[in-house]
Chain A
Amino acid sequence: MGEIVLKNVTKKFGSNTVIQNLNLTIKDGSFTVLVGPSGCGKTTLLRMIAGIGPQTSGTVCIDGKDISEVAPGDRGVAMVFQNYAIYPTMSVYENIEFGLKNNHIPKDKRRKLVDDACEKVGLQELKDRQPNALSGGQRQRVALARAIVKQPSVFLMDEPLSNLDAKLRVQMRVELIELHHKLKTTFVYVTHDQIEAMSMADTIVLMNEGKIMQMDSPRKLYRDPDNLFAARFIGSPAMNIRRFGNEEYVLGFRPEKGIISTQEPQGCYRTSGTVVAKEDLGSEIHYSVRDMYDDVSVIRSEEDDITVGEKVWIGAKPENIYLFGNDQLRIREDDPRYPDLCRQVLALQ
C-alpha cells in the first residue's frame, strides 16, 4: 500500500516560493512520473515526500497517515538519487545492507534480503566490489537494490537514468517498468525527459513553475492536452503553433499529423513555405519548412521526392488541429467559440 496525498503544500527557499498551495494525490501502486522543465519544482516535490526537503506548510500523507513530522527513515519510502548517492567507503553488499542494519534486522534475515535484492537487479557477482570498481550502470543497480531491499511502500526516483548512456538508458527503462510490475508498489519518478515520462508512466504529472499543468495518462496527455504548455512540452518535435485572430488565439498541430505536399491541400488549414531541412531518420523523415511566420515541422513515414529549397504546402486536417485561447487554455469542441474559430482557421493562408 502506498497512496500519497499532498495537501496545500508550499515550499519556500528563503523568500523565494517554489511551490504554492499544491494538491496532489498519487494512486497506490501507480507508476507516476513528475515531468517538467528544469526548476519547475518536481524534485522539490519528491524531496518533500521523502522528507529530506520538508514542505514549508501543508501536509504529506502516505496511506492516510500524516507523515509531515516523521523522519525520512521512518516514512516507509526509498529513494534512488540522480547521482546514486552510493556510500563510497562501503562494498556493494554493505551499501545494500546499511538500511537494514540501522533498522536492527537480524543478520541471517539481512543476508537473505540483500541476496534477493541483488538477484532482482542482477548484482549477485558484484556483491564484494567497492563502488569505485563499478560502471555507471552497475552503480545504478546498487542504488536500486538499496531501495528494493527495504521493501518500501513508495519508491522515489530522482532522474535515475540521466547519468547513463543512451543505450543503457533504454535498457534500464524497460527494467524499471518490469520491476514495477514485479513489486506492484507506488513508483514516483522525476524526469525532465518527456520521452522517459511517456514510455514509463501510467500517470504523468506535468509541472511548470511550481504548478501542476495537467495530470493524466501519457496517451491522454499527448492526444488531449488541457493547455498550450502541455501541448508544447509533450511530443518531439514539439507541436507546431501559430497565432491568429489578432494574435488572440493559437492553433496547433502535431508534426506527425501534418501534411506536406507540392499541391495546395483542400478542406484543411494550410500555409506555404520553403523546405529548409530534411532529416532522414530511416523509419521516418523530418521536414522543417519556413513559412512567413515561423519554422514548421512535419514528420512523414514514407519516402517522397521533396527536396531542400523546394516550395511546398503545409497543412493539417480540422480534426487534428488544437485550439487555445489567450489564457493558454484549450478551446474544445463543446466551447461556443469553437465553430467560428474553426472557420477562421480554414480561411487562413
Chain B
Amino acid sequence: MKKNTTNTEELETRHRGNWKEKIKPYLYIAPAFVGIGLFTIYPVIKVLIWSFQKVNQLDTSKTKWVGMKNYSYLLSNGAFQKTLLNTFIYTGATLAIIMTCALILAFWLNKSQGHLTMFTQGAAFMPHVISSVSIALVFSMMMNPSFGLFNKVLTAVGLPASPWLTSSSTAMPSVVGVASWKAIGYYCLIIIGALQSISASIYEAASLDNAGAGVTLRKITIPMISPQLFFVMITMTIGSFKVFDTVRLLTDGGPNNATSVLVYYIYKQVFWESNIGRACAAGIVLLVLVGVLTVIYFRLLSKRVHYQ
C-alpha cells in the first residue's frame, strides 16, 4: 500500500515537471495556427455571421440581425436561381469538355515522341501561363460578331456567323469554350504524368495476356490513373464553381444574366449593390454546394479509385 502511494507521488512529480515538455509541441505549431485562425477561420466565421445580418458598412452600429432573410431572398430570387443554374451548367460543361479533351490529348502525347509532341505539349500548356486578362482580350476580339476572326472563318467556309458573346443563347458556350481552352493543357500535363508512371512491362504483360486496346484502357490504364483523375475532377469542380475572372472579363455576366455565375453574383452584390449580408449568404451557399459535391464525389467514386 505504501509502495503504491510512493509510486503515485513519483508520477505526480514527474507530471508537474513535465508541463514544459507538454506545452512545447503546441508552441511549435502556434505561429501556423495563428495564421490559419486569422486568415481562414476568422473570415469564414465573420462571413457566416454577416450572412445573417443587414450590414451597414458606413456605420457598423446600424448593422442589424435579420435571421434567415438573406437566404430566403436568395432562394426565391429569380436572378440568383439563374445564377445557380448557370454555375451548374458551366461546371458540368467545362468538366466534360476538359476531361475528355485532356484525356485524349494526354493519350496521344504519351504515345508519340519527337519534336511535334514536345511542341504540342508546350503549346497545350501555354494558355495556362498566359494571364486571363490577355486571353479574355484576345478572345473578345476574335469573337466580335462584326470584325472578329471566328466569324470571318465561319463565313469563309460558308457557315452562318455566330453572335458569340453577344447573344444569351451563345454566350455561355463561348465562355465555356474559352475556359476549357485555357485549362486543357494543365490537366493534360497531370494526366500525362500519371500515364508515364505506369511501367511499360504492365502493358507488355497485358499484350501477352491477349488484352485488346479497349480492355487495356478499361482494366489497366484508367484504374491505374484513377487517383489522378479523381484529383483532377475534384479540383476542376471546385475551380469551376468559383469561376469569376473569365466571366467578368468576357461578358460581365451578360447578356441578360446568361453567364452570371455564383462568384460573379457575390461580386455584384458587394461592389454594385453594397449588400454585404446577401453576398455573404451567397458565399455560404457556394461553400455548402462545393462541400456537398465533394462528399458526393467521395461517396460515389472513392471505391473506384485504386490507390496503390
Q: Which residues of A contact B (CB under 8 A)?
A: 50-52, 71-74, 77-79, 81-83, 85-90, 98-99, 102-103, 132, 146, 150
- Closest CB in chain A relative to B227 CB, distance in Å: 10
Which chain A residues border B201 with CB–CB below 8 Å?
A: 81-83, 85
Which residues of chain A are within 8 angstroms of B202 by Cβ–Cβ distance? 85, 87-88
B224 within 8 Å of A by Cβ? yes
Q: Which 6 A-B pairs have the closest CB atoms?
A: A73-B210, A99-B209, A89-B223, A85-B201, A85-B205, A89-B306
Judging by beta carbons under 8 Å apart, are B208 and A102 in contact? no
The residues of A that contact B206 with a CB separation of less than 8 Å are 87, 98
In the complex, which of the residues A51, A71, A87 contacts B205, with contact meaning CB atoms closer than 8 Å? A87
Given contacts A85-B205, A88-B308, contact A102 B223 (CB under 8 A): no
**Distance, CA A89 to CA B306, complexed state (A):** 6
**B209–A102 touching, CB < 8 Å:** yes
B 197-214 binary contact with A (CB < 8 Å = 1; else 0):
001011011111111100
Q: Which of B207, B219, B308 contacts A52 (CB 8 A)?
A: B207
Q: Among the interface residues A52, A89, A132, A150, which one has the most CB atoms of the partner chain B within 10 A?
A: A89
Residues of the B chain whose Cβ atoms lie less than 8 Å from the Cβ of A50? 204, 208
- For A150, give the chain B residue with the smallest CB separation: B209
Tell whether B85 is near chain A: CB-to-CB under 8 Å.
Answer: no
Besides A81-B204, A81-B205, A103-B210, 11 other A-B contacts (C-beta < 8 A): A51-B208, A52-B208, A73-B208, A78-B208, A79-B205, A89-B224, A89-B308, A90-B219, A99-B210, A102-B209, A102-B215
Complex: chain A residue closest to B210, CB-CB: A73
Q: How far is the CB of B211 from chain A (nearest CB, A)?
A: 5
Q: Report A141 CB to chain B, min CB distance, Å.
A: 15
- Is B220 part of the contact surface with A, judged by Cβ < 8 Å? yes
Interface members, chain B 204-252 (any A CB < 8 Å): 204-212, 215, 219-220, 223-224, 226
- Docked-complex contact A89 and B207, CB < 8 angstroms: no
Q: Please, how many angstroms separate the alpha-carbon atoms of A89 and B217 in the complex?
A: 13
* CA A109 to CA B199, docked complex, whole Å: 31
16 A/B residue pairs, CB under 8 Å, sorted by A:
A50-B208, A52-B208, A71-B207, A73-B210, A77-B208, A81-B205, A85-B202, A88-B224, A88-B308, A89-B220, A89-B308, A90-B219, A98-B219, A99-B210, A102-B209, A146-B205
Contacts of A98 in B (CB 8 A): 206, 209, 211, 219
Cα–Cα, bound, A52→B199 (Å): 14
Inter-chain contacts of A150 with B (CB < 8 A): 209
Q: Are A73 and B209 in contact (CB under 8 A)?
A: yes
Complex Cα–Cα for A203 and B212 (A):
35
Knowing A87-B202, A88-B308 touch, does A72 contact B207 (C-beta < 8 A)? Answer: yes
CB distance from B87 to the nearest CB of A (A): 34
In the complex, what residues of B have CB within 8 A of residue A88's CB? 202, 224, 306, 308
Known contacts: A85-B201, A87-B202. The answer to whether A73 contacts B219 by CB under 8 A is no
Q: Do A73 and B306 touch across chains, with their CB atoms under 8 A apart?
A: no
Query: What residues on A are CB-neighbors of B204 within 8 Å?
Result: 50, 52, 72, 79, 81, 85
